[in-house]
Structure 1
């Protein structure tokens, strides 16, 4: 398991300046061994210096115990080891001190200076001791041996701990850098996951809104016409049976059309496997982007996608409203052309919802539908006059959810168009939209 930088920092539960108890125990052990070594080596030093042996032992003990602070003050430990080098004591303290100094975060020039001082001190002391032994006859060697042994001894006591400390320090810094990068990547992944969740939630909300608009456009218009025809059928059932039969047939046709469009929409929502088969289980939120993908494929011309309404069906749409008793007039300006599936479907829905609102709120009012093909856009306008009789709008008791204008504006704005609606000076209502259609 990888340990992150935060976990590594949280592990610092040792006493005083130690990050861990294990490090404290190790330093206490090294300090005890160094104190015993220096105390023992202080005995011959006291004899050679002509001081009491107890003083040499105490001096050696105090010098050796400084190894306890090697992690906090490595420079002090190295300086003490250099100071006691002429007394031929503190070899363990010198080796461990140099290793700790090289592994620390101190500047390289300080490490190099102290390591050089320790090397020179060890070289001089070893050279003097070997020269004295050679002069007194205690050791018979050639002239080359003394400098060779001195240099070898000095390098052997300083180079290995310094090189090992540099390696361990570099490795430690690399691990810290990797921990920091791991923490940074973990934070970035968490941020990306949160953003992905937000985008998914936004996509689900957008798809819910889009599906709600489609359901509203499909159901509201067809059912509104069915209610109008049903009311007319009830009024003329006994007086004019032939007209009642025609109205009943229209109601049936509109109901079948509404069911067909609903089946097409539900088919898109269910076909989440991409192979055309409907799923047995219902997972609406997990497959929330399927309908959006189907809409995108329709806009791209995918034949397998469900075809939406187009402007060629406007005349049929207006004919249905005229059959329901609305006085409606259609005028087309410019040369008709294909404007793209999504643009034509949006224009159709705007006209459809505007006619539905006339049925709901101004039944019997004269309505004019204008459709204009321009160079880089298509414009549509649905304007109705005031209802002929006060209260006629509620005669069929058509409910209104208040989402028709909102849905139309959302559709148009989503395509980069402009939507305007509001009452006219004559007491009617006007709905206008302009959609880019290069």
Structure 2
């Protein structure tokens, strides 16, 4: 299994500057080997320099143990190796130090400079050793062998560790880059998932709000008219049986219309087969419902402006004095625009039934070049408190729903009392 950069960093934990205990044990082992090597090589160095053997051994132990700090201070290790090269000591320390230096994050010019110094130091020492050996008669090869042996030895001790260190350092940086990229992709995927969930939640909230508005418009208007007709039916049942029969028929028609509109809305929510609903994730239900609702509106399912006369006639049949006036050239609009205009007029008439029963109401519709405007204005009710006698409750969401509909289409909605004591609802919706 692969681990991301954050998990890799969290998994590390060693003493001092070491990232892992295994790395610390490995460096201490190398330092011990280097110290033993330098101690052994310190014996001939002490004899050649005329020093006590113990001093050479101690010097070798101290110099070789510097390798333990190779990860933290690689420059210091290489400098110590260069310094003890004339004493023919620290070959292991020089090789490991150059490898660590090349694999580090130090600038290339520093790595090249120190590697060059180590190469020159090894070259000089090797040249001197080979020449002394030939002078003593240990070697019988020609003079060309001295520079060749010195160059080959110095390159063999410096070039391989430097090249290997450069390769390992580049590979390590590549792996770190890949880990960072994996972390970045993981964070981006997590952010995208969170945003998708937020969009799905927003779509579900929008769909719930839309359904609430539709339910409010249908139930509030139809049921309000049914309550008004039921009250009138109760009043005239004994005095005028024929009128009572007509009112009862109107109540039945309005109830059937309300059920039809409710079935249409439920049909939109149930659009799509059982198999499709089974495989769609819960987070996408709100998006799918909103898209289905939008398609239903665009395809013309729902009320339109041609039904305004019928809407006004229903309010007139319930006893409201209402007149409808249309200005401009009548034309068709997008389904969502016509439905919004219809719902605004419907909700405004419902509010008149609730709060100003018996008040004369004027409904105006204006077709303009780039917009459609509507206004519903009622005069003061003839009797204060007549709405309460009909028993019509108010949830206070009618005006809010109308404004949300109109503003959602880029229109303007204004409502408020008039100077004469009535109430006016005005809305302007762009035609496009």
Q: TM-score range by the shorter chain?
A: over 0.9
Q: Is the 8 A contact 1:267 1:278 kept in 2?
A: no
1:345-360 aligned at under 5 Å gives the runs 345-360=339-354
Q: Which residue of 1 aligns with 2:236?
A: 236
Q: Is the 8 A contact 1:269 1:287 kept in 2?
A: no
List structure 1 runs of 4+ shifted beyond 3 angstroms.
Answer: 275-281, 283-286, 298-301
Q: Which residue of 2 aligns with 1:46?
A: 46
Alignment RMSD (CA, Å): 2.0
Q: Which residue of 1 aligns with 2:200?
A: 200
- Cα 1:280–1:140 change in 2 (3 A) is closer
* Cα deviation, residue 88, structure 1: 1.5
Residue 386 of structure 2 is aligned to residue 388 of structure 1: no
Query: In the alignment, which of 404, 411, 414 is matched to residue 408 of structure 2?
Result: 414
Question: Residues 182-227 of structure 1, C-alpha deviation per residue, up to 9 Å, x if partnerless?
Answer: 2223333333333332222222222111110000001110111111
> Is the deviation greater in 179-188 or in 84-93?
179-188
* Cα deviation, residue 11, structure 1: 3.0
| SS of alignment partner, residue 116 of structure 1 | helix
Q: Is the 8 A contact 2:206 2:290 kept in 1?
A: no
Q: 2: distance between equivalents of 1:71 and 1:284?
A: 53
Corresponding residue pairs, total? 432
Q: 2: distance between equivalents of 1:95 and 1:410?
A: 77
Query: In the alignment, which of 295, 298, 307 is matched to residue 297 of structure 1?
Result: 295
* Cα deviation, residue 278, structure 1: 10
* Cα deviation, residue 181, structure 1: 2.3
Q: 1: distance between equivalents of 2:425 and 2:42?
A: 106
Gaps of 5+ in 2: none
Query: In the alignment, which of 330, 341, 356 is matched to residue 336 of structure 1?
Result: 330
Q: Is the 8 A contact 1:118 1:158 kept in 2?
A: yes
Residue 214 of structure 2 is aligned to residue 214 of structure 1: yes
Query: In the alignment, which of 274, 291, 305 is matched to residue 311 of structure 1?
Result: 305
* Cα deviation, residue 275, structure 1: 4.3
Q: Which residue of 2 aligns with 1:69?
A: 69
- Cα 1:276–1:103 change in 2 (3 A) is closer
* Cα deviation, residue 280, structure 1: 9.8
* Cα deviation, residue 61, structure 1: 1.3
| SS of alignment partner, residue 287 of structure 1 | helix
Q: 2: distance between equivalents of 1:181 and 1:280?
A: 36
Q: 2: distance between equivalents of 1:280 and 1:89?
A: 77
* Cα deviation, residue 50, structure 1: 2.1
Q: Which residue of 1 aligns with 2:181?
A: 181
| SS of alignment partner, residue 427 of structure 2 | strand
| SS of alignment partner, residue 255 of structure 1 | helix
| SS of alignment partner, residue 128 of structure 2 | helix
Q: Which residue of 2 aligns with 1:132?
A: 132
Question: Residues 76-101 of structure 1, C-alpha deviation per residue, up to 9 Å, x if partnerless?
Answer: 11111111112212111110010011
* Cα deviation, residue 244, structure 1: 1.0
Tell me the TM-score normalized by structure 1.
0.94
- Cα 1:93–1:290 change in 2 (3 A) is closer
- Cα 1:123–1:205 change in 2 (3 A) is same
Question: Residues 330-355 of structure 1, C-alpha deviation per residue, up to 9 Å, x if partnerless?
Answer: 10001100111000000000000011
Q: Which residue of 2 aligns with 1:81?
A: 81
* Cα deviation, residue 284, structure 1: 8.8
Q: 2: distance between equivalents of 1:205 and 1:253?
A: 33
Tell me the TM-score normalized by structure 2.
0.95
Q: 1: distance between equivalents of 2:332 and 2:31?
A: 91
Higher helix share: 2
Q: Which residue of 2 aligns with 1:400?
A: 394
Q: Is the 8 A contact 1:81 1:91 kept in 2?
A: yes
Q: Which residue of 1 aligns with 2:105?
A: 105
Q: 2: distance between equivalents of 1:368 and 1:75?
A: 93
Q: 1: distance between equivalents of 2:278 and 2:233?
A: 40
Q: Is the 8 A contact 1:326 1:364 kept in 2?
A: yes
- Cα 1:267–1:284 change in 2 (3 A) is farther
Q: Is the 8 A contact 1:366 1:385 kept in 2?
A: yes
| SS of alignment partner, residue 148 of structure 1 | helix
Q: Which residue of 2 aligns with 1:190?
A: 190
Gaps of 5+ in 1: none
Q: Is the 8 A contact 1:298 1:342 kept in 2?
A: no
Question: Residues 231-255 of structure 1, C-alpha deviation per residue, up to 9 Å, x if partnerless?
Answer: 1111111111111111111111110
Question: Residues 159-194 of structure 1, C-alpha deviation per residue, up to 9 Å, x if partnerless?
Answer: 000001111111111222222222223333333333
Q: Is the 8 A contact 1:40 1:57 kept in 2?
A: yes
Question: Residues 35-87 of structure 1, C-alpha deviation per residue, up to 9 Å, x if partnerless?
Answer: 11111111122222222211111111111111111111111111111111122
